Structure 1
Amino acid sequence: MTKVSLIGAPTDIGAGARGASMGPEAMRVAQIGPTLEAHGIEVFDRGNLQGPPNPWLPPVDGFRHLHEVAAWNNAVHEAVHAELKLGHLPILLGGDHCLGIGSISAVARHCRETGKKLRILWLDAHADFNTAVLTPSGNIHGMPVACLCGHGPQELIEIGGKVPAISPKWIRQIGIRSVDAGEKKFVHEMGLEVFDMRYIDEMGMRHAMELALATLDENTHLHVSFDVDFLDPQIAPGVGTVIPGGPTYREAQLCMEMIADTGRLASLDVMELNPALDVRNQTAVLAVDLIESLFGKSTLMRK
């Protein structure tokens, strides 16, 4: 029986808008626990992690709230790593996407300890590959992939004990449609594999996902980092950085179902859900619906 652990990380410490701190509770209100239990999954809700409050200050040396971001990510790292050690599948309920640093560094550490390969699917409107030099805002939720690849402040790149925590070759980014000019150049330099919305428009979600999931084997740990702004804002308005032109409901379902078909999903982040900007919790309900598909709910009566 699959054992899933829910870990709430109620902070918007790395974001440019307040409200993602309410994300974990919105997911619980949308019945994430009972929904997974209905599929024969054993769910352990570990409650919420603790961390410093959001001081809402301007950036210092190119980073906003660096000390607080590091504290939250260290807490996330320890919590996610502990669940993986127990053989559970951790679902991190964010919180803003800066927390991907703690979560994915924990997964990478677990893979080093168990001799597994790692594949990361980054479902997002943004590449999140900024650095202090490239971004004027200093919001660290735009930097987690760069930090994980070793480009960022010591306090963040050293979480998990190995720099860089991951290789850019392990990442597949899907749904990208908003990238800063300097960031785009950096993404190309680092060789990230990106299936942006133009690619999905031209080739279709199925083809993008076939390539993103290619060469997975039984020794591969598959991690999905799902930023809710991946979805088109018409169906998912409850996010802080709304970028039109994302995947439709059906495209998102296909994406999740194809991940489920691999049988390799081993850890999940659900990030940037902002109930303060949502309409009657519809984005949280949709996120739970898509997570249900990730865990095997299929629209077709598959044999």
Structure 2
Amino acid sequence: MKFLADGTHLAIIAAKFSCGAPRAGAEKGPEAIMQTGVFQEIATKANLAISFDMLAAEPAPADQTEAKEKEEERLGIGLGLKRPREVSAAVQRVSSAVYRHARRGRFVLTVGGDHSIGAGTVTGTAKALRDRFAGQQQQRQQELGVLWIDAHADINTPETSRSGRFHGMPVAFASGLAPSPQRGVFDWLEPSHRINLRRFVYIGLRDVDEAEKELIARHQVKAFTMEDVNRLGIDKIMDAALDHLGPDTPIHASYDIDSLDPEWAPSTGFPVPAGLSLEEGVRVARRLHESGNLIALDLVEINPDIAPSLLDLTVNAGCRLIKTALGVE
């Protein structure tokens, strides 16, 4: 892959967080994937060295009671977010871990966890690219492109969100649409972390809030819904997506397992019917690999506590997406 300085090393980050979602369980997703042995298979078939960063939630401070959280939110410390300090700290840890590997030119695979971590993964990659190519003539051309494969747009701001849950806001925070950080909550985000929504593409949308639709239209974000996929076919969608990002753009793909139809991925927090088939999801992954521009990948929102009798179906789908994106299937 032409944008990787160290193409022999796969950095895997297990982001065991679910603090941005309304229910627990997604923090167990990384372990469910790892137990399959998929990473050993990838290492053998692709002849890669693999490193693991295991990130998990830290115990809450003794004074971090529910009453204190509500008081923080009332005062604006958390910008209206649920569990503001915990979410900010978790996302920062993910961003720092991704940055550390991406700065060295390694492919970074992050397994979640709820999709809140996407605000950390893409910001870590974006900052690493800017730092790697700082001062070089091609820096502008090598600004990060993002493919967000999801049933949901995740672009609410704290003002538009009805739930206050961060897993519906990572795109807004990563792109700078959310309000300025304040008083210890997301104040680590710098302009160098930001992604450019002109180099951002959605695939698989089918459950989008009205406020999110307005934001997508206002900022001219390229978005392909499932209606588009069904009308045009996944290959034409990928042609258009890759053309929009450009042939010389490094790509970070953030794959929510709920982009797949619940027939293929039932063990997830917010399944939405009429999603991508497994073969369509695999085709997206294959086209990303074939582009030669994929430098980072997320797989999130596998929740072993939901439909546990069908967990193997969901995990196997996730493993197939990972292997295809990495070119070993």
TM-score by length of 1: 0.91
Alignment pair present for 1:45 and 2:75: no
Q: Which AA in structure 2 matches 1:152? A: A
Aligned residue runs from structure 1 range 211-226, under 5 A:
211-214=240-243, 216-218=246-248, 220-226=249-255
Whether the 8 Å CA contact 2:17–2:56 is kept in 1: the answer is no
Q: How many angstroms does 1:38 deviate by?
A: 3.2
Whether the 8 Å CA contact 1:19–1:274 is kept in 2: the answer is yes
Alignment pair present for 1:285 and 2:316: yes
CA distance in 2, matches of 1:56, 1:22: 24
Describe the shift of the 1:88–1:101 C-alpha distance in structure 2 as closer, same or farther (beyond 3 A): same
Identity of aligned residues (%): 30
Runs of 5+ unmatched residues, structure 2: 1-6, 75-79, 134-138
Q: Which AA in structure 1 matches 2:320? A: D
CA distance in 2, matches of 1:163, 1:256: 28
Question: Secondary structure at the residue paired with 1:226?
Answer: strand
Q: Which AA in structure 1 matches 2:82? A: R
Alignment pair present for 1:126 and 2:139: no
CA distance in 1, matches of 2:287, 2:9: 21
Whether the 8 Å CA contact 1:124–1:174 is kept in 2: the answer is yes
Whether the 8 Å CA contact 1:20–1:94 is kept in 2: the answer is yes
Total equivalences in the alignment: 297
Describe the shift of the 1:297–1:56 C-alpha distance in structure 2 as closer, same or farther (beyond 3 A): farther
CA distance in 1, matches of 2:165, 2:312: 25
The equivalent residue for 2:136 is: none
Alignment pair present for 1:103 and 2:121: yes
The equivalent residue for 1:250 is: 279
Describe the shift of the 1:131–1:56 C-alpha distance in structure 2 as closer, same or farther (beyond 3 A): farther
CA distance in 1, matches of 2:240, 2:315: 28
Alignment pair present for 1:201 and 2:230: yes
Q: Which AA in structure 1 matches 2:114? A: D
Describe the shift of the 1:50–1:18 C-alpha distance in structure 2 as closer, same or farther (beyond 3 A): closer
CA distance in 1, matches of 2:210, 2:93: 33
Whether the 8 Å CA contact 2:115–2:300 is kept in 1: the answer is yes
Q: How many angstroms does 1:64 deviate by?
A: 0.6
Q: Which AA in structure 2 matches 1:285? A: N
The equivalent residue for 2:266 is: 237
TM-score by length of 2: 0.84
Alignment pair present for 1:145 and 2:174: no
The equivalent residue for 2:130 is: 112
Question: Secondary structure at the residue paired with 2:46?
Answer: coil
Alignment pair present for 1:262 and 2:262: no
